[in-house]
Amino acid sequence: EALVINDPDFQHEDLNFLSRSQRYEQAIRKSSMMVMKLREYGIADPEEIYWFKSSVHRGRPEPLDLHLGMFLPTLLTQATPEQQDRFFMPAWNLEIIGTYAQTEMGHGTHLRGLETTATYDPATQEFILNSPTVTSIKWWPGGLGKTSNHAIVLAQLYTQGQCKGLHAFVVPIRQLGTHQPLPGITVGDIGPKFGYDEMDNGYLKMDNFRIPRENMLMKYAQVEPDGTYVKPVSDKLTYGTMVFIRSLIVGDSARSLSRACTIAIRYSAVRHQSELKPGEPEPQILDYQTQQYKLFPLLATAYAFHFVGAYIKDTYHRISGDISEGDLTELPELHALTAGLKAFTSWTANAGIEECRMACGGHGYSRCSGIPDIYVTFTPSCTYEGENTVMMLQTARFLVKSYTQVSSGQQVTGMVSYLNDLSRQRIQPQHVAARTVAVWISDPASLVEAYKARAARLVEAAAKNLQAELNHRKSKEDAWNRTSVDLVRASEAHCHYVIVKLFTAKLSEVSDAAVRAVLTELCLLYALYGISKNTGDFLQAGILTDAQVTQVNQRVKELL
Amino acid sequence: MALLETGKYVPGSVPSGVNPDIASERQTASFSVEKLTAWLDGGAEHTRIRRAVVEAIECDPVFSRENQYFQSQNERYEAAVRKAVHLQKKMREMGWTENGPEHKYIHRALAGDVAFLLHRIFMRSISTLGSDKQVAKWIPLATQYQLIGSYAQTELGHGTYLQGLETTAVFDITTQEFILNTPKISAMKWWPGDMGRSATHTVVFAQLYVHGKCYGVHPFIVQIRSLQDHSLCPGVTAGDIGPKMNFEHTDNGFLMLQNVRVPKENMLNKFCEVQPDGTYVRWGSQKINYFTMTTVRVSVLSDEVVVPLMKACTIAVRYAAVRRQSKLRPGEEEAKILDYQTQQEKLLPQLAAAYAFHLITDYLQKLFDRGYREIQRKNFDTLPELHAFSSGFKALISQYCTSAVDICLRACGGHGYSLLSGLPSLYTRILASCIYEGENTVLLLQTARFLVKCFMAASTGQPVPPSVTYLAAVKPGKCPAKNKLDFLSPDIYTEAYRHTAARLVSSTAAKLQDLIQSGVKKHDAWNQCTVQLAQAAKAHCHYITVKNFAETVEKLKTQAGIQKIMKHLCDLFALHGIFSNAGVFLHDGYLSGAQMDMVTASYLDLLPVIRKDAVPLVDAFDFTDKSLNSALGSYDGHVYQRLYEWAQNSPTNKQMSPAYERYLKPLLHNKLSKL
């Protein structure tokens, strides 16, 4: 970080006054410099590159993001050794700049619906790439609009007259030397967006564009010269990258929200307004209960998400270790957990950044406050790498599956193990909801139990509603759709439980007493605020009584 | 999606005709769209006038918004001024007048993208606060644009809390002038629109001092720029405050005053006056100075808050009808995303809210027009209630609609993030409404203060304004609903809202009393209750909105097709509110857990019913494609072709990027030694 801050080449001007083209140009300038410096300092570790990169660009997107974050890693994981020789080193040396072209105009999260085709022609041993419809035009990839000369294109593979599903192809798109689009390629910038001004998100349309057979990434699936298709060993392995990126978004939620909180809380400490006591000078707005109620729960949330982000990253590394040893047992849970937490944290952080901005009144609306930029840069994370509602429903599918397992007498493990308790209670006559948890509102561990009971109840309710719909209607899909609002709520409750649990668990790891004390208060605030915002769930399930809810509301205000 | 077969499309051209996916939505409408539009406009005659105004403006190339998304702040400002000047000409040509029936549609047709809006506030404050003599002097000048006005209230250090303003106006008896000063950096006027570069005059709000005594905040007309060469007047420093999230077309400005003198006649003196010897005389209520702000609050609600939500709903619903993604049933083609329950649950409550808030702003507007006439006659009786209404509803509606537009934006997935969808601009614009004309939390607390006062009065049997009489009848009770269909009865849910609002007001008032009785100082006690007070004020406004929606639907009896769908929307709006705030309804046992399940079931059952009419319901808002200015929301549903065409028009694709020659080329050729 110090290397960057003291380097005049990276001095940044006030971006607020730059036009979109200027912002793109500045970003490119810095990226070029950055690559040179990385070489100069001999930085090669991915983690170090990441930190170097975020210091240079101050957390903003940049045109080489996709090259470094997707193009190179995809080559590493999916290219054969021969392809590594041909593409990886030139890409590493930036003779090739690549991007990752997956999303199309008509298709995003639902990958199977992608329409771009790659048809194998055995006569010439080439793939013929086509964008057959308007909806199939590749749309959004970063760095595609102006910067890249290659792209990894995801397309439906056709060989011997059959569709074999999605595969990745390395496609040259611009002439090396002149940077002009190659014949058969139409490429450009998709125009102005809410944020991401520095990024040249682009479109790509291909008309009978031919690439050699060897440009299909063939570490797993292969097409032989005669057109014979060889299946990959396991199709689950490609999940890995997605899970990784989603886990990064969880950490990003924490960081973006932390930045917004820092600005809003500091400003609230220096802004004086109105009067609290007649005759006294105007107080800091941070002394108003309503202001505290806006900002401090968000501060607690930022801390909570920070710990969740760290947990997810560690879990990912642990489980990908298992995976490379061939153990896939934990993959479904990890996949479900990252999907849900990605959605939960990005939704909450998104709303939280806006709260922070509004807590700064009119000046928050000025671009000079810095918060608008944080918001517009962060908000697309609710959509990219999997639309949030779809993510929540994926988590729900896992929860319902686990619930079904429990109902049929099996035990489940991991974060969903609380579902095991449901079957135990069914032996007793009373409904799970009627179970009274002795909730002690100043004890984080007791609150974890309350959240656990809420998650269990909502998962059970959703699963039962689903079953009821199934009994009424014939089709499984209709029943699922008619229950999806309940299912999303169940997933949210599950994620909320996981977060409270992780935050609480973290407390015991803190050795410094003062730090532990303040973190414990934040943890309590986070948990109690969540209850006061969702009192309906806790009251309806009989987890808490009216009087306890009043106490919770009171305690939240005391903690402020 | 197989909208167009391989090879049959010409890139960048939007086909004629309507996308069959959206055409089919219109064939099954349960009501007449034209009739609903007329009802929303307040009669077919209004619809006719509105369309004529929109047509006249949209066919005039000067008013085009075609390249708006590609323009810089300077270009947007210049276009806005050009439009404002041209508008004067247009109005003369068309015979439109300030008081004519066409006038209120002009802003809608221009989508607010025009300069000199503060000029109108300038005029309005003079007509409300100025004496007959002042009106006679200034209004004709302003009407003929011989000067351009602004309204300078907010300072760098002070916004909603007006008493804290630091600009001073000291009366100089020897010259019969006021001397205006912004004595420190936080006193600098900051934010006023049209002031950064355009205005020649402005109404400055300053603390009035006579003989060393402060009389509080008063308005003064101050000339800031020369009428000859537009240079700044002596003692005046002014300029633009820089980039914002939106309003690039407006030159929000700053203003510093150093010993600027204005004649005594420039203090607006309808309600108070400084006499030549320095005697201060006041007649009428002190609150009258704020009445301009109060009326502005209500008038912005329709154009700047409800209309943007209607537009956002139009874009998001139409897009959801043509966007197909994933499969609902195996073997079928990909489903319209509008058929997914989760998508319906995102969009349809926002659509219902747009209708609910349209109706309540209509109601408020009428209430205020009546109140305005009363105040002109110097009858101030209704002022506290009007003030409480304007504050609470401005806060509730702007906050609700802002998050509703955000939901619409995110419901459009990635394409919603493109400026070409129109949604980011709608969002950044509407969210300013949460702050201007009074910060929302502060406003809610003002309403809460009124409610607590009325509650106290009512409980001791004193008369209170009609809108709050229900507070007197707080008693514990249970909701009588027995099955989920009962929750489709407006009586049942309106009563639930009423009960909850009354409970929140009364319990907070009780807590406030307790604290005070236990020895906590009054202002500390108030601060400790503010979170609940704000919640109570919101509940009150939410209740009135539901009640007004239900009563309006009731009165629609004669128009069958429309009444039925409006009833569904009213039910959805009300049940969505209970579903999303379950805790406050469950809290004292007014609703039981089982009843809450009934609410949820009824609420979710409504979604597929309203879904059938979703596209006709947004068509009824009757926005032209030009006014939506959205690649996703046009009437014909040719979303992808339009998006592709518009992107190709982006200047980023037209001019050669210098970045390649300068940075990329050396990088790719590995020759980047020194930049």
pLDDT band at residue A327 using 50, 70 and 90 as cut-offs: confident
Between CA B654 and CA B18, with CA B410 as vertex, the angle to 5 degrees is 65
A280 touches B: beta carbon within 8 Å: no
Cβ atoms A403, A459 nearer than 8 A: yes
Q: Does A348 map to a domain?
A: yes
**pLDDT tens for residues B592-627?**
999 999 999 999 999 999 999 999 999 999 999 999
Cα A215 to the center of its chain, rounded Å: 30
Length of chain B: 675
Residue B230 has pLDDT above 90, yes or no: yes
> pLDDT at position B287, please?
61
User: Are A259 and A309 in a shared domain?
Assistant: yes
Q: Which residue has the higher pLDDT, B160 or A79?
A: A79
Distance from CA of A353 to the nearest CA of B (A): 13
Which one of B648, B653, B660 makes the best mutation probe of the A interface by having the most chain A beta carbons within 10 Å? B653
* Residue A366 phi, psi (nearest 5): -70, 140
Residues 202-221 of A with CB under 8 A from B: 203, 205
Put simply, the answer to whether A113 touches B416 (Cβ < 8 Å) is no
The residue-averaged pLDDT of A489-506 equals 96
pLDDT band at residue A515 using 50, 70 and 90 as cut-offs: very high
User: Are A100 and A85 in a shared domain?
Assistant: no
3-state secondary structure (DSSP) of residue A181? strand
Q: Does A450 map to a domain?
A: no
Q: Does A167 map to a domain?
A: yes
Domains: count for chain A: 3
Between CA B390 and CA B397, with CA B395 as vertex, the angle to 5 degrees is 95
CA separation for the pair A255, A501 (Å, rounded): 20
pLDDT band at residue A349 using 50, 70 and 90 as cut-offs: very high
> pLDDT at position A433, please?
43
Contacts A393 to B, Cβ<8 Å:
342
3-state secondary structure (DSSP) of residue B149? coil
CA separation for the pair B648, A139 (Å, rounded): 12
The residue-averaged pLDDT of B152-165 equals 89
Put simply, the answer to whether B652 touches A361 (Cβ < 8 Å) is no
Residues in contact with B20: Cβ distance below 8 Å, sequence separation at least 6, in sequence order: none
Binding-site members of A are 103, 142
> Which of A282, A401, A290 has the alpha carbon at shortest distance from A355?
A290
> pLDDT at position B674, please?
40
Put simply, the answer to whether A483 touches B341 (Cβ < 8 Å) is yes
Q: How far is CA A347 from CA A138, A393, B316, B356, B595, in A?
A: 26, 15, 19, 26, 29
Cα B576 to the center of its chain, rounded Å: 22
Nearest CA in chain A to B75: A19
Catalytic residue among A104, A385, A449, A492: A385
High-pLDDT (> 70) share of chain A, % = 90
Q: Does A546 map to a domain?
A: no
> pLDDT at position A51, please?
67
A32 touches B: beta carbon within 8 Å: yes
**pLDDT tens for residues B58-93?**
999 999 988 889 988 899 999 999 999 999 999 999
Put simply, the answer to whether B659 touches A105 (Cβ < 8 Å) is no
Contacts B245 to A, Cβ<8 Å:
365, 367, 372
Q: Which residue has the higher pLDDT, B373 or B257?
A: B257
pLDDT band at residue B655 using 50, 70 and 90 as cut-offs: low
Put simply, the answer to whether B245 touches A354 (Cβ < 8 Å) is no
Put simply, the answer to whether A21 touches B664 (Cβ < 8 Å) is no
> pLDDT at position B95, please?
92
> pLDDT at position B104, please?
87
Residue A88 has pLDDT above 60, yes or no: yes
Give all strands (DSSP E) within A277-356, no chain letters. Answer: none
CA separation for the pair A135, A156 (Å, rounded): 14
Cα B559 to the center of its chain, rounded Å: 30
Tokens of B284: 């009428």
**pLDDT tens for residues B558-595?**
676 899 999 999 999 999 999 999 999 999 899 999 99
Residue B284 has pLDDT above 70, yes or no: no
Binding-site members of A for FAD are 103, 142
Q: Does A415 map to a domain?
A: no
Residue A207 has pLDDT above 90, yes or no: yes
Residue B100 has pLDDT above 90, yes or no: no
High-pLDDT (> 70) share of chain B, % = 95
Distance from CA of B142 to the nearest CA of A (A): 28
User: Are A199 and A104 in a shared domain?
Assistant: yes
Catalytic residue among B437, B495, B551, B661: B437
Residue B120 has pLDDT above 80, yes or no: yes
Average pLDDT across chain B, whole number: 91
> pLDDT at position A513, please?
92
Tokens of B641: 């072709």
CA separation for the pair A200, B661 (Å, rounded): 16
Q: Using a CB cutoff of 8 Å and minimum separation of 24, what contacts does A557-560 make?
A: A557/A289, A557/A293, A557/B528, A557/B531, A559/A296, A559/A521, A559/A524, A559/A525, A559/A528, A560/A289, A560/A292, A560/A293, A560/A296, A560/A525
Write the CATH number for A167: 2.40.110.10
Residue A9 has pLDDT above 80, yes or no: no
pLDDT band at residue B157 using 50, 70 and 90 as cut-offs: very high
Residues 349-408 of A with CB under 8 A from B: 354, 358, 361-362, 364-368, 372, 376, 379-380, 382-384, 387-390, 393
Minimum mean pLDDT range among A95-109, B181-195, B287-301: B287-301
Nearest CA in chain B to A133: B6
Nearest CA in chain B to A23: B659
Distance from CA of B99 to the nearest CA of A (A): 32
> pLDDT at position A329, please?
79
**pLDDT tens for residues A116-150?**
999 999 999 999 999 999 999 999 999 999 999 99
Tokens of B614: 């979703």
Q: How far is CA A26 from CA A180, A191, B324, in A?
A: 22, 18, 38
> pLDDT at position A553, please?
85
**B622 Rama sector, left if φ>0, alpha if ψ -120 to 50, beta otherwise:** left
User: Are A259 and A379 in a shared domain?
Assistant: yes
Residue at B171: amino acid letter: F
CA separation for the pair B275, A398 (Å, rounded): 79
> pLDDT at position A435, please?
47
> pLDDT at position A295, please?
95
A191 → closest Cβ in B7, B418, B585? B418
> Which of B423, B427, B430, B171 has the alpha carbon at shortest distance from B280?
B171
Put simply, the answer to whether B417 touches A380 (Cβ < 8 Å) is yes
A442 touches B: beta carbon within 8 Å: no
Which one of A194, A276, A559 makes the best mutation probe of the B interface by having the most chain B beta carbons within 10 Å? A194
Put simply, the answer to whether A290 touches B528 (Cβ < 8 Å) is no
Count of CB contacts below 8 A, A vs B?
Answer: 300
**pLDDT tens for residues B375-428?**
777 777 888 888 899 999 999 999 999 999 999 999 998 899 999 999 999 999
> pLDDT at position B3, please?
41
Average pLDDT across chain A, whole number: 87
Write the CATH number for A44: 1.10.540.10
Minimum mean pLDDT range among A273-287, B218-232, B333-347, B511-525: A273-287
CA separation for the pair B337, B331 (Å, rounded): 17
User: Are A326 and A249 in a shared domain?
Assistant: yes
CA separation for the pair B410, A194 (Å, rounded): 12
Length of chain A: 560
Q: Does A440 map to a domain?
A: no
User: Are A82 and A50 in a shared domain?
Assistant: yes
Write the CATH number for A269: 1.20.140.10
Contacts A147 to B, Cβ<8 Å:
659, 664
Put simply, the answer to whether A536 touches B583 (Cβ < 8 Å) is yes
Active site residue B273: no
Which residues does residue A162 pair with via DSSP β-bridges, in sequence order?
A159
Which domain-ending residue is among A357, A391, A425? A391
Contacts A355 to B, Cβ<8 Å:
none
Cβ atoms B582, A536 nearer than 8 A: yes
Tokens of A299: 């501060």
User: Are A108 and A177 in a shared domain?
Assistant: yes
> pLDDT at position A432, please?
43
CA separation for the pair B588, B503 (Å, rounded): 9
User: Are A308 and A256 in a shared domain?
Assistant: yes
> pLDDT at position A375, please?
92
CA separation for the pair A373, A198 (Å, rounded): 12
User: Are A62 and A108 in a shared domain?
Assistant: no
> Which of A180, A186, A227 has the alpha carbon at shortest distance from A208?
A186
User: Are A86 and A101 in a shared domain?
Assistant: no
Q: How far is CA A308 from CA A438, A500, B188, in A?
A: 27, 9, 45
The residue-averaged pLDDT of A285-291 equals 92
User: Are A155 and A260 in a shared domain?
Assistant: no
Residue A434 has pLDDT above 70, yes or no: no
- The whole domain housing A40 covers 2-90
In terms of Cβ atoms closer than 10 Å to its own Cβ (0-12, 13-18, 19+), residue A214 is: middle
pLDDT band at residue A6 using 50, 70 and 90 as cut-offs: low
> pLDDT at position A438, please?
65
Residue A494 has pLDDT above 70, yes or no: yes
Contacts A137 to B, Cβ<8 Å:
640, 644
Q: Does A354 map to a domain?
A: yes
Residue B675 has pLDDT above 60, yes or no: no
Which domain-ending residue is among A60, A90, A120? A90
Put simply, the answer to whether A20 touches B652 (Cβ < 8 Å) is yes
User: Are A86 and A114 in a shared domain?
Assistant: no
High-pLDDT (> 90) share of chain A, % = 53
Q: Does A505 map to a domain?
A: no
A485 touches B: beta carbon within 8 Å: yes
CA diameter of chain B: 91
Contacts B657 to A, Cβ<8 Å:
21, 24-25, 146
> Which of B113, B137, B110, B109 has the alpha carbon at shortest distance from B123?
B137
pLDDT band at residue B285 using 50, 70 and 90 as cut-offs: low
Which domain-ending residue is among A391, A425, A459? A391
Q: How many CB atoms lie within 10 A of CB B165?
A: 23
High-pLDDT (> 90) share of chain B, % = 72
Q: Which residue matches tokens 């930045």? A: A259
CA separation for the pair A425, A214 (Å, rounded): 59
